[in-house]
Homo-oligomer: A and B are copies of this chain.
Amino acid sequence: MGEADLARLAAIAQPMSISEGRAFIAEGDPAEHFFNITAGTAKLFKLLPDGRRQITGFASIGSFLGLAVSVTYAFGAEAVEPVHLCRFSRPRLRTLIDDLPAMEKRLLEVASNELVAAQEQMLLLGRKTARERVASFLLARRDPPAAALVSLPMARTDIADYLGLTIETISRTLTRLRNEGLIDLPSPTRVRLLDPAGLNTLATGLS
Residues of A within 8 A of B (CB): 44, 46, 48-50, 52-54, 56, 67-70, 74-75, 98, 101, 104-105, 107-109, 111-116, 118-123, 125-128, 161, 163-164, 204-206
Contacts and interface: CB of A to CB of B under 8 A. Distances in A.
Contacts of A56: 118-119, 122-123
Copies of this chain, count: 2
A119 B118 contact: yes
B125 A122 contact: yes
A50 to B, nearest CB: 5
A37 to B, nearest CB: 17
A138 to B, nearest CB: 18
Contact of A114 (B46, B98, B101, B115): B115
Given A118-B118, A118-B122, A127-B164, A68 B112 contact: yes
- Indicate the member of A49, A52, A112, A120 with the most B CB atoms within 10 Å: A112
